[in-house]
């Protein structure tokens, strides 16, 4: 497995990856997905034999705030440390950022994963999150 910056948006391979994990909110809005990639602070891809098997996409200013927007690994490659490797690569690159934030599914699996990477539930810090989304 090789992690490298994902600088050239390849719609078929990105759609394949997002579809594999059921993220249809993105796959049904291809123009939004393309623009999101183009305007990201950083996108890293995980590759095996030149096949995109995982991705992490971050937005923010790179100094005071870093937002982990997307992190996904193709189901056939999950539970191999790929997601954690992608996340740790980003955290290493932006180690001086004041605040790193993400929103994810409220499941024991995702909570455990992010806690193992050093994240804390917002409610444990006296915070709460607000979202305004268009579905």
Residue 109, in any domain of the structure: no
115 lies in a domain? no
Does residue 44 lie within any of the structural domains?
yes
The total number of structural domains that make up the chain = 1
pLDDT of residue 15: 95
Residue 128 reports pLDDT greater than 90: no
For residue 118, is it within any domain? no
User: By C-alpha distance, which of 125, 56, 40, 126 is closest to 91?
Assistant: 56
Domain that holds residue 76: 2-104
DSSP assigned state of 77: G
CATH number for 85 = 3.40.630.30
Q: What is the pLDDT of residues 4-60, one digit of tens each?
A: 999 999 999 999 999 999 998 888 999 999 999 999 999 999 999 999 999 999 999
Rama region for 111: left / alpha / beta (φ>0; ψ in -120 to 50; rest): alpha
**120: in domain:** no
Cβ contacts of 84 within 8 Å, gap of 6 or more:
113, 116, 117
Instruction: Write out pLDDT tens, residues 98-119.
Output: 999 999 888 998 899 999 999 9
pLDDT for the residue 9: 93
- Whether the per-residue pLDDT at 127 is higher than 90: the answer is no
Mean pLDDT of 59-71: 96
| Residue 129 maps to a domain | no
């Amino acid at each position: 497995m090789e992690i490298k910056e994902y600088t050239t948006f390849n719609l078929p391979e990105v759609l394949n990856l997002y579809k594999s994990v059921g993220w249809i909110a993105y796959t049904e809005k291809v123009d939004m997905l393309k623009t999101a990639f183009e305007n990201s602070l950083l996108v890293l891809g995980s590759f095996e034999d030149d096949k995109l098997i995982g991705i992490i996409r971050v937005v923010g200013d790179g100094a005071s705030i870093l937002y982990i927007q997307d992190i996904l690994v193709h189901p056939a490659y999950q539970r191999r440390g790929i997601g954690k490797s992608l996340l740790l690569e980003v955290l290493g690159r932006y180690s001086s950022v004041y605040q790193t934030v993400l929103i994810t599914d409220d499941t024991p699996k995702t909570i455990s994963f992010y806690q193992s990477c050093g994240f804390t539930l917002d409610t444990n810090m006296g915070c709460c999150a607000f979202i305004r989304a268009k579905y």
